[in-house]
Amino acid sequence: MSTTVAINAREETALVSAGDTNSPCCVPAHGQEALEAAAAEALAARFKALADPNRLRILSIVSSSPEAETCVCDLSEPLGLGQPTVSHHLKIMVEAGLLNREKRGVWAYYSLVPGALDSLAATLAPKA
Amino acid sequence: MSTTVAINAREETALVSAGDTNSPCCVPAHGQEALEAAAAEALAARFKALADPNRLRILSIVSSSPEAETCVCDLSEPLGLGQPTVSHHLKIMVEAGLLNREKRGVWAYYSLVPGALDSLAATLAPKA
DNA sequence: ATAATATATCGACGAACGTCGATATATTGA
DNA sequence: TCAATATATCGACGTTCGTCGATATATTAT
């Protein structure tokens, strides 16, 4: 059964298979469906969280901070963005499962969800 | 000089460093700038190409095809998209450096650019 | 030359996105 | 209790995106 395109990395569907399949041109091998629509939607949602330069910079800053956590006040200035905008980006990444949010006192500290980026990377390069 | 956030994987900037840095909260260590704006823009552009469910399905189909190449006619039907839309998605991924386009006769064959996905994956998980 | 076919490009339209200023909520200190 | 501060949420805006139908381009066969 190696004709299925799904290869699991942390119980999620991989983008590329190790793959050999057989189908002549213009006679698509219907029945395996490649990446399921629902799985594609879920994966795309996570990549969408990475598809903005400011969010990538936020991830970079958060990951390189002392305790690998950052409060909003540290982000607004270096990014040149307003505080509401930064909060908005953070929320998107929390909802995408990339960042954790911990509120201590008046501050909100954000940190990388361990393994989140790795699991996304595994989706792109199943073996490496 | 391990304070720089940049770690190169295939001559491009990684998202997360192996990183330790020193900066007390709310006293951002300006001067290292985390991910440069330009680099972030470039990286985001590539993730943007992955941030659509139909494009992910196209990648999946292309990568699991006989010779790992596919013509447009094979994509339109299984995706349930019009031909112009498929062409549009393919163009985006070619411009993002993810797909190759080779025209043979009337057909256009698309294939994965070797290493493109891996290099993107390396950006997310520098070591693994 | 003409017809048929595969693909690309164009123009339009609605939906989603990034950003902002204004405001609401919550916590701390006087 | 009241003021100050950090963050979240809201509403609005211009821009970008995904999709489509119509059309243009190119290649092959008649």
Q: Is the pLDDT of residue B128 over 70?
A: no
Whole-complex ipTM: 0.85
> What are residue A69's DSSP bridge partners?
A111
Distance CA B62, CA A34 (A): 9
Classify A46-117 by CATH class. mainly alpha
Distance CA A108, CA B17 (A): 22
Cβ-Cβ contacts under 8 Å, A1 against chain B: none
Residue boundaries of the structural domains of chain B: 47-117
- Most B CBs within 10 Å: which of A35, A76, A120, as the mutation test of the B interface? A35
> From the CB of residue A54, how many other CB atoms can be counted at a distance below 10 Å?
20
- B37 CB contact with strand C at below 7 Å: no
Q: What is the distance in angstroms measured between the alpha-carbon CA of B112 and the sugar C1' of C23?
A: 49
Domain B47-117 has CATH 1.10.10.10: yes
Q: What is the distance in angstroms measured between the alpha-carbon CA of B26 and the sugar C1' of C15?
A: 38
Check residue A33 and give its pLDDT: 58
| Contact between residue A6 and residue A13 where contact means Cβ atoms under 8 Å apart | yes
Q: What is the pLDDT of residues A39-97, one digit of tens each?
A: 999 999 999 999 999 999 999 999 988 777 788 988 999 999 999 999 999 999 999 99
- Nearest-CA residue relative to C1' of C6: B106
Ramachandran assignment for B88, one of left (phi > 0), alpha (psi -120 to 50 degrees), beta (any other) = alpha
Q: Where are the beta strands (DSSP E) in chain A?
A: 69-71, 99-104, 107-112
Q: Is the pLDDT of residue B6 over 90?
A: no
